[in-house]
């Protein structure tokens, strides 16, 4: 990849997703160790998604207004890392709520803007995006696998130091990535509000938000759920890792997948397989073979789903609307949908129980699939 900062961009993805690989599976266990209730854990774990409803719009607007894509990403990551250090002192629900809310606001800046910077650096080589993005999956899998064994030996509070190291690694690499070339865009006669209101975009956003809701119980309680069923933390790490290994495989196979099938076919199939996956988790947690198969379906419920959804977003939001298009997609799907999923997981876990809570996630994925089947067309 001549003239493309391949390894620096790959390193940013690696460390940032290693941080997520530490936070998503294990931070709920840390909160449980502090004695927090299921509702409290669900609320805290939903905060990163909650702030993504609003924050990405601010970062995207600042980038589009001339602040620069990577300078804004670096600024958010730096302040987010500083605020993160407050976790070392926070113990009660209110203190943890304040720290996680504030750090999540700033840490929501890097990823959407790095995505835009990556596509800008790639230019006409956009098909190679998967070869860079896959290092995020490698970072995630390395984190969940290694940390699982570490926490079987050390106290769960060691998790805070590990996550800090990953954030610092992301910051160092992001400082080394050169700013992408700025391009002059011709005036776009179509206002962004009209794009957002188009039936195709509305259907896509609603369905993707439902997919995020479906993942709420998974990202909030899956590790606790497995431990309660007798799995060790090391085994939990392996199960998370298997899901991401399959995600890595689908990223490498993505170009072949999109040559063989349409974007619409890939996206709708991803929702259908996600429905099956969450039903398997809900009712077969004691069966290791079924759980392994369910983790393999992460390739669909995240990997092919995310790639196909981004394909639609890049089709509808072009030129000067790139950063804001990413922000809208991130905030309304992973932000609003993820926050609703986290809150649903917390309350459902106490009132419905784990099995019905995961089943509710499957219902959300099914609803998203039906919306896409009815309203989504192939991009032209």
pLDDT truncated to tens, each residue of the chain (380 aa)? Answer: 447 888 899 999 999 999 999 998 899 999 999 999 999 999 999 898 888 888 877 887 787 776 678 899 999 999 999 999 999 999 999 999 999 999 999 998 888 888 878 877 777 666 677 778 889 989 988 998 899 889 989 999 999 999 999 999 999 999 999 887 765 555 556 787 888 999 999 999 999 999 999 999 999 899 999 999 999 988 998 998 898 899 888 878 877 888 899 999 999 999 999 999 999 999 999 999 999 999 999 999 998 998 899 889 878 887 677 777 877 888 889 889 988 998 899 999 999 999 999 999 999 999 999 999 999 998 86
Contacts of 12 (CB under 8 A, 6+ apart): 110, 114, 170, 173, 174, 177
pLDDT at 1 (0 to 100): 43
Largest CA distance in the chain: 60
The residue whose two tokens read 């969450």 is 278
**Can you give the pLDDT at residue 99?**
97
Q: Are 215 and 339 in contact (CB under 8 A)?
A: no
CATH of 6-375, picked from 3.50.7.10, 3.40.50.2300, 3.30.360.10, 1.20.1250.20, is: 1.20.1250.20
Q: How many other C-beta atoms lie within 10 A of the C-beta of residue 3?
A: 9
Find out whether 275 and 223 touch, Cβ atoms under 8 Å: no
Q: Which two tokens stand for residue 58?
A: 């601010």
Coil, helix or strand for 4? coil
3-state secondary structure of 32: helix
């Amino acid at each position: 990849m001549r003239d493309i900062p391949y390894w620096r961009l790959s390193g940013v993805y690696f460390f940032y997703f290693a941080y997520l690989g530490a936070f998503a599976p294990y931070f709920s266990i840390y909160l449980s160790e502090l004695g927090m209730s299921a509702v409290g854990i669900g609320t805290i774990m939903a905060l990163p998604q909650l702030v993504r409803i609003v924050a990405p719009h601010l970062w995207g607007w600042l980038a589009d207004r001339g602040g620069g894509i990577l300078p804004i990403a670096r600024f958010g990551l730096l302040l987010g890392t500083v605020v993160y250090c407050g976790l070392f002192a926070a113990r009660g629900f209110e203190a943890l709520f304040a720290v996680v809310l504030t750090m999540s606001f700033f840490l929501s800046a890097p990823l959407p803007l790095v995505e835009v910077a990556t596509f800008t650096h790639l230019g006409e080589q956009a098909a190679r995006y998967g070869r860079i993005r896959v290092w995020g999956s490698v970072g995630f899998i390395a984190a969940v696998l290694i940390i699982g064994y570490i926490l079987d030996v050390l106290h769960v509070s060691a998790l805070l130091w590990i996550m800090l190291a990953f954030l610092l690694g992301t910051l160092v690499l992001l400082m080394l990535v050169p700013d992408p070339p700025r391009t002059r865009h011709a005036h776009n006669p179509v206002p962004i509000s009209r794009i957002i209101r188009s039936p195709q975009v509305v259907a896509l956003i609603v369905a993707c938000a439902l997919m995020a809701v479906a993942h709420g119980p998974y990202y909030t309680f899956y590790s606790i759920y497995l431990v309660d069923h007798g799995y060790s933390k090391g085994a939990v790490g392996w199960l998370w890792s298997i899901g991401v290994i399959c995600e890595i495989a689908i990223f490498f196979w993505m170009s072949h997948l999109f040559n063989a099938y349409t974007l619409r076919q890939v996206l709708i199939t991803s929702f259908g397989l996600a429905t099956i996956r969450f039903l398997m988790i809900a009712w077969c947690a004691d069966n290791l073979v079924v759980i392994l198969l369910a983790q393999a379906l992460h390739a669909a419920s995240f990997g092919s789903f995310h790639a196909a959804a981004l394909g639609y977003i890049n089709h509808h939001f072009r030129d000067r609307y790139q950063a804001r298009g990413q922000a809208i997609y991130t905030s309304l799907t992973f932000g609003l949908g993820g926050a609703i999923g986290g809150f649903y997981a917390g309350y459902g876990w106490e009132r419905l129980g784990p099995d019905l809570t995961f089943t509710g996630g499957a219902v959300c994925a099914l609803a998203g699939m039906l919306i896409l089947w009815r309203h989504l067309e192939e991009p032209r």
